[in-house]
Amino acid sequence: MVEFRKLVKDELERARKLHGKVHSFHEGFAVILEEVDEFKEEVWKKEAKRDPKLLLGELVQIAAMCNKIAEDMGLLENGQQAFLS
């Protein structure tokens, strides 16, 4: 089984290629909110109808976007990267 951290790193790289940098906290918040809403949609289904792969995929995207925003918005000191980069 692939480690969660590896899945998030791969998603972070994919997102950077597709979307570039986050330019504001508002933009970052909107991205995270969209991913959380997609996760919520799956969680609110009856348990028998939930798709574990979709749940994991949304959690991976949420984590990747948090990592990306922390880096892009300069929240880390001295050019330090978040834990996945």
- Count Cβ atoms below 10 Å from residue 4 Cβ, excluding itself: 12
Residue 12 lies in a domain: yes
Residue 84 lies in a domain: no
Question: Is the pLDDT score of 78 beyond 90?
Answer: no
Residue 64 lies in a domain: yes
Residue 43 lies in a domain: yes
Residue 47 lies in a domain: yes
Number of domains composing the chain: 1
Q: Which residue has the higher pLDDT, 1 or 52?
A: 52
Q: Mean pLDDT lowest for which of 32-36, 72-76, 79-83?
A: 79-83
Residue 85 lies in a domain: no
Q: What's residue 83's pLDDT?
A: 62
Give pLDDT tens digits for 18-72: 999 999 999 999 999 999 999 999 999 999 999 999 999 999 999 999 999 999 9
Q: What's residue 2's pLDDT?
A: 77
The domain of 73 spans 4-79
